[in-house]
Structure 1
Amino acid sequence: MTQKNGPVEKVIPDIVIHRLPVYLRALDLMARQGKRITSSQELGERLGISSAQIRKDLSHFGEFGKQGTGYDVEYLRDQLRRILKVDRVWPMAVVGAGDLGHALANYKGFANRGFQVVAVFDADPAKIGQRIGGLVIESMDVLTERIAELGIRIGIIAVPAEAAQDVANRLIEGGVRAILNYAPITLSVPEGVRVEYIDPVLALQSMTYYLEPNEVETVVGS
């Protein structure tokens, strides 16, 4: 990410940007618990991140606390919302009205975090016209046009791998510049389009490396 600071443009490492929502989530919880002041030490203990790393990450964007007094929880929370641009509501489109698409369209956790699903699309004629999360499922034939019409910048792909690249192309043509991809495939996108991947199988496979096998192992396929 490039952070503009007056006439000088400062490049912020992506790994820092990825940690900011983690800090924001912790601060949201603290605010709901009525906590007014925190410190990098307390945040670090909650998140398993060193206090030095937290201070370094935040320093990319300015000074938010005072030595000896810590951080004002609500102020720091609001500043992180501003930095992440979630101090507003971003309209999103979900492509794929299967089980995952239904879950995403009905998910209540988006609304208070700066996101709202405003359109759902599917290629199955049997699903088009049905309602999901208060929205009418629309045809893929109108996807690009509707994305542009609604000013949607964020798309969520919840389709099989073989259809994902075509969906991404249509989203980008309509004006989408950020894609959350649940399909188990790496997308090819032009410069300026951000893609984040969510693949539960990859996450599970990385976790099983750390597990000790049971004495009685289950043979896959048996």
Structure 2
Amino acid sequence: MATGRTHRPATRSRGIPEATVARLPLYLRALTALSERSVPTVSSEELAAAAGVNSAKLRKDFSYLGSYGTRGVGYDVEYLVYQISRELGLTQDWPVVIVGIGNLGAALANYGGFASRGFRVAALIDADPAMAGRPVAGIPVQHTDELEAIIRDNGVSIGVIATPAGAAQQVCDRLVAAGVTSILNFAPTVLSVPDGVDVRKVDLSIELQILAFHEQRKAGEEAAAGTAAVPAATREQSATDQGPDGDVPAVMPA
């Protein structure tokens, strides 16, 4: 079985823009759902809606893959699943190590979607000696002392960091020194890596803060809309009830 050490995805060499690459997993997820329902073809409009993009952007993205669909018929679902999977490098086995088997790391280890998407959890690694040998998701946890040997023996090129922030950079350095060239970072810190190493960061607190911003803005818009809905006569009466400096008088006139 091929491993991540000897094969790389075709997207870089084919000149596909990074923005398009970022949307390919969205298309693949939507197409996989259609495939599971035995839907043979899909229009660009239907697929774009399922993926949350506009149809013009979808057609442009697919043009980089050399896939243009058939007028009046649409896109062949199974062929697109294969084509996008090939571009993303998912038609081969990618062994992955997860470092840091706390609550988050254990949840990731138990995630059932890795295998179906071309990834195999090759090892679970933790610095706590008490964790060594303990099975998580059916895989025995190994100590960080074995990190380099695990990466070498399994041909690992993708590492997942789920450690506390203070340990993340040291773990990252060891992964890179051992030959890992792609890292998915769940630790709440920014990692420093050399050229040629790709890092994707997943920060749940940042995502929640962005949602809080949007909630606050929506609340402000609703409040503004409520003020605008008050009849003008009422607002004018309210203004006449105020004192010379705009304050409500302490004693209202009889």
Relative to the length of structure 1, the TM-score reads: 0.89
Partner letter of residue 49 of structure 1? Answer: V
8 A contact 1:157–1:179 mirrored in 2? yes
Partner of 1:26: 30
Q: Please state how far the C-alpha of 1:149 moved relative to its aligned partner.
A: 1.3
Flag structure 2 segments of 5+ consecutive residues without an equivalent.
1-9, 221-254
SS of residue matched to 2:196: coil
Partner of 1:217: none
Q: Which of 31-40 and 21-30 deviates more?
A: 31-40
SS of residue matched to 1:117: strand
User: 1:141-160 to 2 correspondence within 5 Å?
Assistant: 141-160=145-164
8 A contact 1:64–1:76 mirrored in 2? no
> Is 2:22 the partner of 1:4?
no
Partner of 1:136: 140
CA distance in 2 between partners of 1:29 and 1:208 (Å)? 31
What is the aligned-residue RMSD (CA, Å)?
Answer: 1.6
8 A contact 2:94–2:120 mirrored in 1? yes
Which protein is bigger by CA-based radius of gyration?
2
CA distance in 1 between partners of 2:97 and 2:68 (Å)? 34
Query: In structure 2, do the counterparts of structure 1 residues 200 and 28 end up closer, same or farther at CA, with 3 Å as the change threshold?
Result: same
CA distance in 2 between partners of 1:24 and 1:64 (Å)? 16
CA distance in 1 between partners of 2:82 and 2:32 (Å)? 9
| Higher relative strand content | 1
CA distance in 1 between partners of 2:135 and 2:52 (Å)? 42
The one of 118, 121, 128 aligned to 2:125: 121
Q: Please state how far the C-alpha of 1:141 moved relative to its aligned partner.
A: 1.2
> Is 2:200 the partner of 1:196?
yes
> Per chain length, whose mean CA-contact separation is higher, i.e. which structure has more relative contact order (CA < 8 Å, sep 6+)?
2
Number of aligned residue pairs: give it.
Answer: 209
8 A contact 2:152–2:178 mirrored in 1? yes
Q: Please state how far the C-alpha of 1:155 moved relative to its aligned partner.
A: 0.6
Query: In structure 2, do the counterparts of structure 1 residues 181 and 3 end up closer, same or farther at CA, with 3 Å as the change threshold?
Result: closer
User: 1:32-111 to 2 correspondence within 5 Å?
Assistant: 32-111=36-115
**What is the percent sequence identity of the aligned residues?**
45
CA distance in 2 between partners of 1:17 and 1:33 (Å)? 25
Flag structure 1 segments of 5+ consecutive residues without an equivalent.
215-222
Partner of 2:175: 171
| Higher relative helix content | 2
Relative to the length of structure 2, the TM-score reads: 0.78
